[in-house]
Chain A
Amino acid sequence: MADEIEQRLVTAALGGDKAAFGELVDRLKRPVFGVCMAHLRDEAEAMDLVQDTFLKAYTRLELFRPDSNFRAWIFRIAANGAIDRIRRRKVRRAGEIDETVSADSLDEGPLPAVSTFGRASPFQAHHDAQLGARIEAALATLPEAMRQCVLLCDVHGYSYQEISDELGIPKGTVMSRLFYARKKLQQELQDYREEATRG
C-alpha cells in the first residue's frame, strides 16, 4: 500500500509536480535520516545528507525504474552520499582497522556456540524490533570501516562486489570485514537468544 502511494507520488513528481515530491520528502524523511545516521553517527551531518539525498533523487528521478522499489533506490543514494562524506572526513575514528587486514589475523579460535529451540526460530516477528535495536547498538561500537560494510550488505543489499567497487577496496577485504564484524555481532545474537530462552 505504501509502495503504491509512493509510486503514484514519484509518477506525479516526474510530471513536474513539486508538491508530490514534497509529499515524498514527508513520507521518507525519517527512514532516510535513519539510514544516514546509521552510516554517519552524527545528527547534524546526517540531516545535511538527508537534504542532499532528496535533491539528488529529484535531479535523477528520470533514472528511477518504475518497476523497482523507490525506498531502496533512495536509500542507496543516501548510502553513496554517506560513503563520500566518510571519505572526506579528515579525522579517522579511533580503532578503525587497517584496510590491509588479513584473514590470518581473524583466526581467533572456535566460534561461540549458538543455541536454538529445535526447529522453531526464537526470532519471532514481535522480537525483531528488540533484536534490531540491539544489533544496531552493537554495530555502533564497531570500527567505521566494518560498520559500513555491514550496512551496505545487510541494510542496502549490496553484493560484495558492489561494496568493493563503492568503497574502492578489494573484494577479499570486504569479505574479511564482514566476517570479522559478524563474529562480533554473533555474540550479541547469542546473548539475545539466551535471554529469550530464559524468558
Chain B
Amino acid sequence: MAEPHLIETLSEAQFELMLLWVDGELAADPVRLAEAEALARTSEAARAIADDWRAAKGALREAVVNAETNADFSMLRGRILTALPVEARLDGAARPVVAAEPAQGLWAWLAQFGFGKVSLAVGAATALAAWLLLVPGGGLREPEAPALTQEGIAEMAAPPHSGAQAEPAVILEEMELESGSITVHPGEHSGDATVIWHFQSAGEGEG
C-alpha cells in the first residue's frame, strides 16, 4: 500500500468551494467554477476532498437504499394493491387507463350471439315463470297419495321408479285388511321382515 502523502490543510473557504463543486452548484457561476477547477488542479488536499465526497455521496446512497432490515414486508404488497384507487380522482386528473379484461369462457361465446348476462338472466326467469304457469302445480305439488287399496299399498312399497327396472323391495304374498291395520306377509320368504301399518283416524287413540 502506498505511503500517504503529506497533507495540506484547506481553509474553510476552500473546503466549501470544493463541496459546491462536487454538489454541482457552480454550473451557473463560471468564475467560481474556474476557481474550483484550478484549486483541484493545484492542491492535492482539495482533490482529495473532492474525491472523498464524491465517493461518500455514492457510498451513502448505496448504504441507504441497501440498508439491512428485519422489517416485515409480507403484508405490504397486499395492502397497497387493496388500497389502489379504482375510480378517477376527484381532481379530474388523468388516471392510468384500466384495460378491460378480455372475456373468457362461456360468457365470451354467448356474447358473440348477443347474449349478455342480463339478457340470459331475463330469459331464464321468463322460462321459469312459464313453466310454473303451464305445468299443473308447476311440478311442485306433492304427488297424490296412492289410494289405500291393495294396489296403492303396493305402489307405496315399491321402490322409486328409475330408468332401469328395479326389483321390488318386497313381494306381497298376502295382505289382511281389518280395522285399520294392514299386515303384509312375505309368504315363503320367512326370513324377511314383516311390515305392519296401522292407520289411525282422527279421534282414535293410538293402538
Contacts and interface: CB of A to CB of B under 8 A. Distances in A.
Contact of A129 (B16, B25, B63, B64): B63
A111 B84 contact: no
Contacts of A167: none
B95 interface: yes
Give chain A's interface secondary structure class.
Answer: helix
Interface stretch (B66-74, B142-150, B163-171, B185-193): B66-74
Interface in A1-48: 13-18, 21-22, 25-26, 29-31, 33-35, 37-38, 43, 46-47
B206 interface: no
Contacts of A153: 23
A30 to B, nearest CB: 7
Contacts, number: 184
B1 A117 contact: yes
Contact of B96 (A46, A55, A61, A155): A61
A129 B77 contact: no
B153 interface: no
A155 B60 CA distance: 7
Contacts of B12: 106-107, 111
Contacts of A197: 1, 4
B92 to A, nearest CB: 13
Contact of A22 (B19, B44, B77): B77
A132 B66 CA distance: 10
A34 B69 contact: yes
Contacts of B5: 115-118
A139 interface: yes
B204 to A, nearest CB: 74
B78 to A, nearest CB: 9
Interface string A117-131: 110110100001101
Contact of A16 (B7, B10, B67, B97): B97
A30 B76 CA distance: 11
A111 B11 CA distance: 7
B83 A120 contact: no
A132 B63 contact: yes
A123 B66 contact: no
Interface stretch (B46-54, B110-118, B121-129, B154-162): B46-54
Contacts of A189: 52, 56
Interface string B1-39: 111110111111001100100011100000000000000
B79 interface: yes
B98 A129 contact: no
Contacts of A46: 71
17 contacts: A25-B77, A30-B66, A55-B84, A58-B85, A62-B93, A111-B15, A116-B4, A118-B5, A121-B55, A123-B55, A129-B59, A132-B61, A153-B23, A154-B57, A160-B25, A182-B53, A197-B1
